[in-house]
Structure 1
Amino acid sequence: MTINYSVNKTQIIRISLFLSLICLYAAFGYDLERTEYFKLISLYAVLCFLSVKIVQLNNENNSPLFILSILVRFVFLMAIPNLSQDFYRFIWDGRMIFEGFNPYLYTPDSFLTQGISPVPEAQILYNKMGPLSASHFTNYPPVSQFCYYLAAVFSNHSILGSVIVMRLLIIAADFGTFFFGRKLLKNLNLPVSYIYWYILNPFIIIELTGNLHFEGVMICFLVMSLYLLQKLKWQWAAVAFSLSVATKLIPLIFLPLVFKYLKLKKGFLFCAIVGLINIALFLPFISSEFITNYAGTVGLWFKNFEFNSSIFNIVKGIGYAFTGNNEIKILGPIMALLVILYIAITTYRSPLKDLKNLLFNMLLILSVYYFTTTTVHPWYISLLVILAVFSGYKYPLVWSATLILSYLAYASADNKENLWIIGLEYIFVYGAFIYEVILKKQIGRKQIEE
């Protein structure tokens, strides 16, 4: 009787945790404003705690975790994103393509300030996307644009309908990541259960499925590419990598590492395939005006925009002390050049003998980029989280838990960041990074010497 009671008690605890998690996600998706900072932080903290406990309790039997990962994503199906307004611009771009416009050639301002409505629900989308998005040209690559276009094809007159279509695409991508991620973990001789630190991570569920950020699609193609690389199918890996870049540009940062990993001939052909496919995907939109607009918009991320930065905030503060001005237009590009130099040195010095070493160096250079850049929106870190799954490092998971603090900027009327809050976030991140990447390595070396 005692054994049966113990089994039933364990099952009851497990079911209770599952139901609690689902209810909390429902509260997060349907009953939360991003300005409700105490509620936001509290809900997120409990979600993180419960998710860790659930993964730990089901470590031996992963089937319940897979079912739960499906359920919590579909909880958000009918929810309008509440932490980000970017999706309104996604809908706008998709409907522009559907109506026959090139989305790279026009800003929403260029239409609405003249009283022209080029797409259905134009005024609502314009008002909701905010003045920053409305006044700039789009910078989303063609695979992302195709996803937005699909939302217009299936729901051109309903914002909620468009949201549902895009959410289904992101959910499908997450399970593509799950499928190829498990295979890659198995081939790397790592526990396949590690994939749940990504697929059941509250940060991933909220930022990708909940807030409709297409980093999920980018990650799916990148994980597919890594799996194909591990299987020595480098040509197909290049195709998958191309689609990842054509969803979000950030994987381009890994090309030098992949080039060296594959050696000269294969590396050159890999890069050539990536370049040619991306040119082909951009080709329907290309014009001299497109090149000017796109380059200018991408450049803004280094010279104008700033959010949740760490080292850059320190450098900017030093610049203030000397000049009395925010020197982002000078300091941003300098920081970017330093990162390029770091990537070149890391690529040259790293042996890259196997995929594990490649994954670690990908994690490292991306971390350095995010540590030094001017803008670190929460959803950017999703790429670090998936690389952590395959490399065994935990500091990106710590970052995914503390990033919620960056949303406290919206608690003030002018959306001004509190540097003390940002400092608190990065104390945890840098503490975990220094311990894992530097101190543990030194401790290991000392033990070997002894």
Structure 2
Amino acid sequence: MKATYLLAELLSFYFIYQLLHQLSLPAHRILLYALNPLVIVELSGNMHPEGWMVLGLSGSLYYLYQRKFTLSAFWLAMAISAKLLPLMFLPFFLRYKVFYRDPLPQARTYMKPIITVLKNLTLWRFYSTVGVFCLLAWLPLLDLSMLLGFLDSLDLYFQRFEFNASIYYVVRAIGYQVKGYNIIQIAGPLLSLFTVIFVFWTALKRPISFDTLIKRWQMALTAFFLMATIVHPWYIVTLVFFSVFTRQWYALIWSALVILSYYAYQQQNYEEHMGLIALEYLVVFVILFGESALKKKITKLTHSI
């Protein structure tokens, strides 16, 4: 099994290296992912499925840049088959510039995005291809008991499980003060709804280029993790992968600090140390918003010049 995970990593390195070359980015940036301790330990070491998901995402982006949409759809379907998280990236193709076509000039302004999507056969062919490949991958597992177990797992994830959360832990603390009990069954789905709204708002607000697509995917996944009730260390691996192309440091810093959450496994009752979690997210938030503010200032200065 570890050999197959190592093979997936090597294929991911190939796609990442080729993408860096295509985007005229320094080739040595691949080392930010390939030599990241969290990536090495959690993927090749502990064999978490993020390795296969990153392989699917890197392959999909590689072929998407080349406009080989069938191959891109295949690799995206493989990423979704490894973990469901890449489903949140599908709405971003609605405004992807390669798919996006201007509607008839006489169309009303508020109707243009709707008409554009409906008339875009390339987009719907891409979505259909992703769906077909996902169905083929899941076909051997499709039965009623699997479906029921899958739904139970989703219920546990969003309404029962808690680990290394950020915003949710603040909401939970407020809930204890107001209600006197853990409000995870309300807060979990509600925070997930906020994430869905953020994803669609980010995906639909303006047309998206290839470079912007990767940045938007990273933003969406970051928002999901910040709203989630459970953030295991290996979840951050995908953000590290995106950072190779977006040049944002918060995910790399997070990949180092998230290890603090393992303190809980050293306790007999698996109790988390809230001080360590607060330190982790304080640093992450400072760097995240600091990078965002600095980027806005640089953009404003560039436009003024």
TM-score (norm 2): 0.90
1:398 aligns with 2:233: no
Deviation, 1:201, is 0.7
Report the count of equivalent residues: 284
Instruction: State how 1:36-435 maps to structure 2 within 5 Å.
Output: 166-261=1-96, 262-263=99-100, 264-352=120-208, 354-435=209-290
Find the residue that maps to 1:270 and give its secondary structure: helix
Q: Counterpart in 2 of 1:45?
A: none
Please tell me the residue identity of whatever aligns with 1:350.
R
For residues 363-401 of structure 1, give each alpha carbon's deviation from its aligned partner in whole angstroms, at most 9, with x where no partner exists: 111101111110100001111000010111111101011
- 1:255-300 deviation line (CA, Å, top 9, x unaligned): 1113431333222221211112212222222222322221121221
2:236 partner letter: I
| Superposition CA RMSD, Å | 1.4
Deviation at 1:249, TM superposition (A): 1.2
Q: Post-superposition shift, 1:447?
A: 5.5
Q: Give the CA deviation at 1:426.
A: 0.8
SS at match of 1:246: helix
Counterpart of 2:134 in 1: which secondary structure? helix
Q: Unaligned 5+ residue runs, structure 2?
A: 101-119
Which shifted more, 288-297 or 438-447?
Answer: 438-447
Deviations along 1:299-336, whole A, 9 cap, x unmatched?
A: 21111101100011111111111101111011100111
Scaled by the length of structure 1, what TM-score is found?
A: 0.61
**207-216 or 438-447, which moves further after superposition?**
438-447
Query: Structure 1 residue 209: deviation in Å?
Result: 1.1
Equivalent residue, structure 1, for 2:105 = none
CA distance in 2, matches of 1:401, 1:379: 11
Partner of 1:12: none
Which structure has the larger Rg?
1
Contact 2:95-2:206 within 8 A present in 1 as well: no
Secondary structure, aligned partner of 1:186: helix
The percentage of aligned residue pairs carrying the same residue is 35
Where structure 1 has 5 or more consecutive residues not aligned to the other structure, the ranges are 1-165
Paired letter, 1:408: Y
